[in-house]
């Protein structure tokens, strides 16, 4: 079909689209950096799991490698048992401000994987020691820590496919959503390629 736009107008439209695309890419990178900074600055995540349509939430001490989130728990813990039956999970990471206008945090959807291989476990150990050096003795040996030994816990990795950054300083309920990679477990089986985001 022949374009009704003049060459000059068509060129102007193309430039406008390119500028819009660049602006979206820059915003996407900004949101990703803000999420990664928030992940690194915090230590505790509320993990929500479910089994047989019964939900459960538990705080876990975590470290992250990019968007992947590692934590350790006893395998007999309720959330660990739920994960074995249903790896789909949600999580929240946030502070505890007195002023609701200061509320900020992350809402996460993803899938939890149990780490079995020595390489994966070794990576998780290194991440914990790098962020929390006081845990080195516990993670490097069979030494008990708070009455728990390393042999009594397992390492897990939450792989997000969607993260929402909530920031009430930008408006009540303001959120910016970042979608990571395609995932068959995403709602309706739909997942964007890495880097998709929406704001609202």
Structurally, how many domains does the chain consist of? Answer: 1
Minimum mean pLDDT range among 20-29, 119-128, 182-191: 182-191
Average pLDDT over residues 99-112: 88
Does the structure show a pLDDT above 90 at 158? yes
**Residue 2: inside a domain:** no
Contacts 24+ apart (CB under 8 A), 114-122: 114/83, 114/84, 114/154, 114/155, 114/156, 115/70, 115/154, 115/155, 115/156, 115/157, 120/155, 120/157, 121/155
* % of the chain residues with pLDDT over 90: 46
Of the pLDDT bands very low, low, confident and very high (cuts 50, 70, 90), residue 61 is very high
Query: pTM for this one?
Result: 0.76
Measured in whole angstroms, how far is the alpha carbon of residue 36 from the centre of its chain?
9
Asked, for residue 103, whether it belongs to a domain, the answer is yes
- Which pairing describes strands 68-73 and 175-179: parallel, antiparallel, or unpaired? unpaired
pLDDT value of position 180: 85
Cα(181)–Cα(194) distance, rounded to whole angstroms?
Answer: 4
Is residue 189 in a domain?
Answer: yes
**Cα 148 off chain centre by:** 27
Other C-beta atoms closer than 10 Å to the C-beta of 125 total 20
Does a structural domain hold residue 191? yes
pLDDT of residue 56: 96
For the cut 90, the answer to whether the pLDDT of residue 135 exceeds it is: no
Q: Which two tokens stand for residue 2?
A: 């022949």
| 187 assigned to some structural domain | yes
CATH number of the domain within which 58 lies = 2.30.110.10
Is residue 22 in a domain?
yes
Query: DSSP assignment, residue 192?
Result: P
Domain-located, residue 45: yes
Residue 15 pLDDT: 52
End-to-end CA distance of the chain: 37
| pLDDT given for residue 25 in this prediction | 77
Is 1 within the bounds of a domain? Answer: no
Question: By residue range, what is the domain housing residue 94?
Answer: 7-199
pLDDT of residue 48: 98
């Amino acid at each position: 079909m022949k374009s009704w736009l003049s060459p000059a107008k068509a060129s102007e439209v193309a430039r406008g689209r390119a500028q819009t695309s660049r602006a979206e890419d820059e915003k996407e990178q900004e949101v990703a950096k803000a999420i990664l900074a928030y992940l690194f600055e915090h230590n505790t995540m509320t993990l929500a799991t479910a089994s047989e349509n019964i939900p459960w939430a538990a705080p876990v001490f975590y470290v992250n490698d990019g968007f992947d989130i590692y934590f350790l728990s006893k395998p007999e813990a309720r959330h660990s048992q739920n994960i074995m039956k249903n790896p789909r999970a949600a999580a929240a990471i946030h502070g505890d401000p007195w002023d609701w206008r200061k509320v900020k945090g992350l809402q996460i959807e993803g899938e939890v994987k149990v780490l079995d291989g020595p390489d994966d476990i070794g990576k998780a150990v290194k991440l914990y020691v790098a962020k929390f050096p006081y845990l080195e003795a516990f993670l490097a040996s069979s030494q008990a820590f708070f009455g728990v030994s390393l042999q009594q816990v397992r390492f897990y990795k939450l792989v997000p496919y969607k993260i929402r950054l909530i920031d009430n300083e930008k408006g009540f309920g303001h959120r910016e959503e970042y979608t990571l990679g395609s995932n068959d477990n995403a709602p309706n089986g739909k997942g964007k390629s890495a880097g998709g985001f929406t704001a609202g």
